[in-house]
Amino acid sequence: MGELEGPMAWEPRLRLKDKGGNRYGSIQLIIMSYLESCLFLRQPERAHQCLLFYHRSHARRKQLGIKMYNILMHGWAKKGSLNKIGRLFFMLEEAGLKPNLSCYAAALECMGRTQAPATVILRCVQQLEEDGFKLDELFKDVVYEEDEREMVLKAVRIIEPNFHPLSQPCSEICTSPLLRDFYSKEKPVSYPKLDFSVRELRERFRQQLEMEASNTVTISSVESAKPLTEQASKARELLTTLRSEWRKSLLQTLQESKIHMANRRSWQMSLYPYLCLLEDEEYVDIMLQILSSLPPQGESLLVLAKELGAKIHNKYAVRKKLRSRLLKKIQKIYDAYAQLLAKDTQLDSYLPREYWEKLEASSGSSLLSKDCTWPHILMVQLGVHMVELLVQVIKVQSNVLNPSLEAKLIPVLYHVYSFRSSRQIGFIKPHPILTQILSNAAETTLTFDSFVMPMLCPPVPWTSPHFGAYILLPTKLMRCVEGAIQHQLLLEECPRSNLHSVLDALNQLGNCPWKINQPVLDIIISIFNAKGSEKLDVPPPLSEAPKPSVALHVGPSTPWSKSSLKRELTQCRKKTAEMYSLRMDSLYKLSIANHMRDKVFWFPHNMDFRGRTYPCPPYFNHLGSDITRAMLLFAEGKPLGARGLDWLKIHLINLTGLKKKNSLRERLAYANELMEEILDSADNPLTGRKWWMDTDEPWQALACCMEIAKALRSPDPTAYISHFPIHQDGSCNGLQHYAALGRDVIGATSVNLMPCDSPQDVYSGVAQQVEEFRKQDAQEGMKVAQVLDGFISRKVVKQTVMTVVYGVTRYGGRLQIEKRLKEINGFPQEYIWEASHYLVRQVFNSLKEMFSGTREIQIWLTASARLIAKSGNPVEWVTPLGLPIVQPYHRAKSTVLNSTMQTLSLNMRFDASQKPDTVKQKNAFPPNFIHSLDSTHMMLTALHCHRRGLTFVSVHDCYWTHALTVDVMNQVCREQFVELHSQPILQDLSRFMLQKYCTDSLAEWRDEKSLEPQTLVELLSRVPETGNFDLQKVKESTYFFS
């Protein structure tokens, strides 16, 4: 399972190591996962044989770290085998490793279990103190599971009967200068409550716990409203019979494969322990769940294997947590925590994290569990084994749908190869018979993993990189790309107080309760169950998929007609696959929304490696499309107040996309002019004049029309209780951050950092500048400039301008412009390549003129990243809130997995044991750095809005709140932007990087004669000069966010 790699020719500066010196390469993770799985099964003998295999060989021993010996010590402690633990202490000495606290904890746990003599315990404690540890540290720095802590305490009290572990000290205060005042306890603070009683919140917690413990949720499909036909009834009966047969066959084959694996040599790592972690029936359930959701066109073997492996891992992680006795502790603390959030208690002076930490400290127990991270390669290997069983076992009679045919047992799944951009990919494809049966059955239920559903109670607050969000389901604080664990190691090494503000912002976003906008949902479902609507982005059913034209099937067969037919068939298949994918995505979203229609729910949040926040449930959340956003309302309502109705009207006009260049006053006047259309849309959405359908965001526009109608018809619109979220969008937010960093007056004005009477439109500004260049070139006789006369518009340049700040290259920009030119009727097609080439050059020139400061900063960031990556290091930095960030782009490493079906090649691009990918590191640094700043601004806004009692959520640079509180949110948002950019951001970055990459001890460049170390020092020291834009002006700018 995974081959050992030879010594590396170079040592990466960011080694995959933790503070204890444990390495986390692929082979180490595989060994640790194997040992943990054996011990979960109470089989320390098997784990011991594996460890001995590595320990006995000097070459293999280098792969081992102290954590592996620890894992096994705790396994023997459960069995009360003090001799085996003693032997492991000797093995540590042989390996040149020093025992750590966890080793002594395991020894004392064993002594507590076996009630060892006081002399033995005393000798152990003396040894612990000789190694520089203190008894109290055992109860502060070690993570325990099940009854381990109690056993250690029992042993200690045999020699010190009155021993009591010191209570946990209060956590350190956040040190970021941006939030020093926010966290200081000088003034009394009061945070908003949720509109639920303590009893309701506790009941909701129990419902959520039940859902997570069952691992899957089965809900009704929105298609279930269709009448049941005889054909569907027969198909469902047939499916039930077939599934019952398949279940028996799979169970038998799985058990046989386990017996075969169990008989292998005991020291050899195999999949056997992983196939024993769950009940056999649970593996079969997972396989049949995957079979039911397999698309008609099939799925790649790799994707299926990953999905199956992840499902098994999640189920195991939940089982592990349930067994570790953590659950009772979490339940007890959550019951007390509910008092902070509930409306029927006085307590309101703590942030969720602060109060949870206080409760945890007073309970005297840690809620952290030992991590069970499985490496990517292991999940794939386990998944492939499951797929092999499915392909091998599941069979059906060939005449099951047509009894007149000959009866023959045939496989239901086929392994085939398909080409994707010149690469051969292994696919698992269902037989058309299965597709037909599933189609005929039109099953009325959908089964999802628990984490796909929104939460039924406020999420568990994030208190560390290991703990938060769901109750049982494993969730990472920082979601990462496959195989990247460097982010997690970085977070663990980071001082805990540095993460406080980030954790608190995520908790604030996750604590916002939501509900469904039922009238809008019902209209969407009615269109979905009819024939969909391309115009309204409701995907049609597969019955509407294009069919090859009949004309090609008749008449004499010629080579030309054959190739035409083949081409058309390929097009039809491609379109059908796209339609199926879109249809299923909508079916999932609508079915989840329909299931939640009468409930209040929450979206727990985590973040990506740049600090950008995301809701954890993958399908249905407020980051989704126009349709998904239109279905969501805040569960808490607030009166509109004096300006709320005006904000609703302005929001509607913003959603139409019609008056982007007009002032707010003009947008409001336009909404009043359109009132007849707005009310008609609200009253007769599908039978009236349908004005809402012609807007940029039709479904959100319809929802807003309905809200305006209800408010206007209420006795007093200012007192109308509105649950509707109002959005305020940043004006080309990436460029706003660049302009503020460079104090660039021209740039700041064009992206609305400067107060103006009407919004400045940077895209129109660039289009005008490009038009000026074009006129000059046309006068000088340039043909392409003459051809472009009348065709340069805001729309043509918008996407490129928007993405330049996020690192788009000239090549990418040319493709974007080419796409826009193809959409223009009347543009000569033969000039598209030349025109797009010319325009992208002029767009970059225009931006250089308009944003001179921006360009300089971008060049500085890119050049710094290039030299850092060339030195063999990934680019790292720390955000102004103290969040550590590392770019995960490394050279591809190919790992080959052999299976009976095919050889799988896993391309890992994020393995930190490989050299950094210089091109990706340098191109990605400027946009990633800006993303980390926009997430910092959002988090600051979230925390200060929470302090002021606002409901606040965000979709990156689009901020949402109630109509009543838009003005307050706008004020906070501007103040925090000014506060953020008043920090010496670039100077701090320069200082951090000089210290990280240019100190003498670290400058181990491969070529010592190279001038690059000196060049890097000079470059990092030369922070770009800034202009004289006055940041305070942002506070007065109406259109900064609007």
Which residues contact residue 673 at a Cβ distance below 8 angstroms, ignoring those fewer than 6 apart? none
d(CA 669, CA 602): 36
Q: Could you tell me the CA-to-CA distances from 492 to 19, 143, 459, 505, 676 in Å, in that order? A: 9, 14, 22, 19, 58
In angstroms, how far is CA 756 from the centroid of its own chain?
A: 38
Q: What is the dihedral of CA 992, 178, 462, 172, to 10 degrees?
A: 80
DSSP H helices, 851-911, are: 852-870
3-state secondary structure of 956: coil
Place of tokens 């782009």: 889
Instruction: Decide: helix, strand or coil at residue 127.
Output: helix
- Strand positions, DSSP E, 807-962: 876-878, 884-886, 893-898, 903-908, 953-955, 958-962
What pairs with residue 907 in β-bridges? 894
Q: Per the structure block, which two tokens stand in for 266?
A: 């005991």
Give just the sign of the alpha carbon dihedral 676, 679, 683, 688. Answer: positive
Closest CA to 854 of 976, 743, 992: 743
Joined together, the tokens standing for residue 850 give: 């308009």
Residues 6+ apart with CB under 8 A from 561: 552, 555
791: enclosing H helix or E strand: none
Amino acid at 623: L
Please say whether the beta carbons of 881 and 939 come within 8 A: yes
Determine the Cα–Cα distance for residues 604 and 615; give it in Å rounded to an integer: 6
The Cα 228–Cα 232 span in angstroms is: 6
Best CA proximity match to 940, nearest among 968, 979, 971: 979
- Pairwise CA distance, residues 671 & 716, whole Å: 20
Q: Do residues 576 and 542 make contact, with C-beta atoms less than 8 angstroms apart?
A: yes
Is the CB of residue 934 less than 8 Å from the CB of residue 737?
Answer: yes
Q: Which of 53, 49, 93 is nearest to 72 (CA)?
A: 49
891: left (phi over 0), alpha (psi -120 to 50) or beta: beta
- Using an 8 Å Cβ cutoff, are 56 and 267 in contact? no
For residues 785 and 774, is the Cβ–Cβ distance under 8 A?
yes
953, β-bridge pairs? 960
Catalytic residues: 729, 798, 957
User: Residue 341 corresponds to which tokens in the numbers above?
Assistant: 């959030």
Q: What are phi and psi of 20, to 5 degrees?
A: -85, 5
User: 395-397 and 409-411 as β-strands: parallel, antiparallel, unpaired?
Assistant: antiparallel
Q: Strands (DSSP E) along 30-166, which ranges?
A: none
CB 171 within 8 A of CB 357: yes
β partners of residue 261: none
Q: If you ran DSSP here, which 8-state letter would residue 450 be given?
A: G
Q: E-strand spans in 116-264? A: 216-220
Long-range contacts of 393-400 (CB under 8 A, 24+ apart): 393/246, 393/249, 393/250, 393/253, 394/246, 394/249, 394/250, 394/291, 395/249, 396/242, 396/431, 396/433, 396/434, 398/433, 400/238, 400/433, 400/437
Q: Which of 692, 693, 711 is nearest to 646 (CA)?
A: 711
